[in-house]
Amino acid sequence: MKWFSRSEAPPQGGASVSPASVKYQSRAFKAVLADVDRKVAEGGRPLLLDLGIALGSNVDFFAERGYRLQIADLYRSLPPESPVLEPEALVEPLAAALPASDDGGASLVLAWDLFNYFPLRALSAVGERLATCLGPDGIVFALLATLKTMPPGPQRYRVIDAETVETLETDPASAVDAPRYRQPDLERALSGFRVETTYLLRAGVQEYIFRRR
C-alpha cells in the first residue's frame, strides 16, 4: 500500500472528489457514550479528546451531555511526512499535538478513521502517546476500513445522535488502497490497550473499542 502525505492526497473539493453524506448506526459509539455518561451521572466532568476536525454541531452535542472537549485535529497537526516516519521520530511531534492532561486524563478518545492512515510502526507511537493522554480505564473509539479502498485522507464525522454518525465519502476515483488491519495487528501495535468490543458494519467499517490496560 502507498502511504499518502497530506500534500499527495487529492484535494478536498477538487474535480475528482464528490462528497456524499452517509449516515450509519454505530453500536460502539453508543457504548462509549454510555460509558462516559455514567461518569457524568456520578457528578464528574469527563474529558473527551477528539482527534478529528472541529465541528460546531459536535461541540454542542458533547457540551450538552456535560463533557469537556479537547479537539486535536491530529492528522493535520502533525508534519506531512509523519505517517512514514519511524516511531522514534514521532515522539516529539505527537507530544506537541497531544499534550498530556494534568487533571486525570481523558475518559474517551474519538480516533474516528485516523488509524487507517498510519502504518503499524507509526501507529504504535500514536498509541503510546494516547495512553499518556487517557485516564485510568480510558477508552478509544476507532473505525477501521474493511474494504479494499478508502478515502485519501481522514474524513469529517458529524454526530447526529447518541447512536448515529454521519461522514463524507469520496468518489471511488479518488480512493487509495486500505490497509485492512486485522485485530491481531492492532493489538500488537497498540500494546497499551486491549480490544474490548468490535462490530462489523455494512458500510465497510469495523468499529473498535480499545480500553487502556
Residue 92 region by backbone torsions, left for phi larger than 0, else alpha for psi between -120 and 50, else beta: alpha
- For residue 113, what pLDDT is reported? 96
Q: Which three cell numbers stand for residue 181?
A: 488491519
- For residue 15, what pLDDT is reported? 32
Tell me how many helices (H) and strands (E) the chain has.
6, 11
- For residue 171, what pLDDT is reported? 62
Alpha helices in the chain (DSSP H): 27-41, 56-64, 74-77, 87-97, 120-133, 183-189
- For residue 12, what pLDDT is reported? 37
- For residue 2, what pLDDT is reported? 33
- For residue 178, what pLDDT is reported? 96
Instruction: State the DSSP string of 28-77.
Output: HHHHHHHHHHHHHHTT---EEEE-S---HHHHHHHHHTT-EEEE--HHHH
User: Topology of 20-212 in CATH?
Assistant: Rossmann fold (3.40.50)
- 64: Cβ contacts below 8 Å, ≥ 6 apart: none
Q: Which three cell numbers stand for residue 32?
A: 462509549
pTM of the model: 0.88
Cα(77)–Cα(206) distance, integer angstroms: 25
- For residue 203, what pLDDT is reported? 80
- For residue 22, what pLDDT is reported? 81
- For residue 120, what pLDDT is reported? 95
Could you state, in chain order, the average pLDDT of each consecutive group of 10 residues for the chain (213 residues)?
36 39 90 98 96 94 97 92 84 93 90 96 96 94 95 92 85 84 97 96 92 94
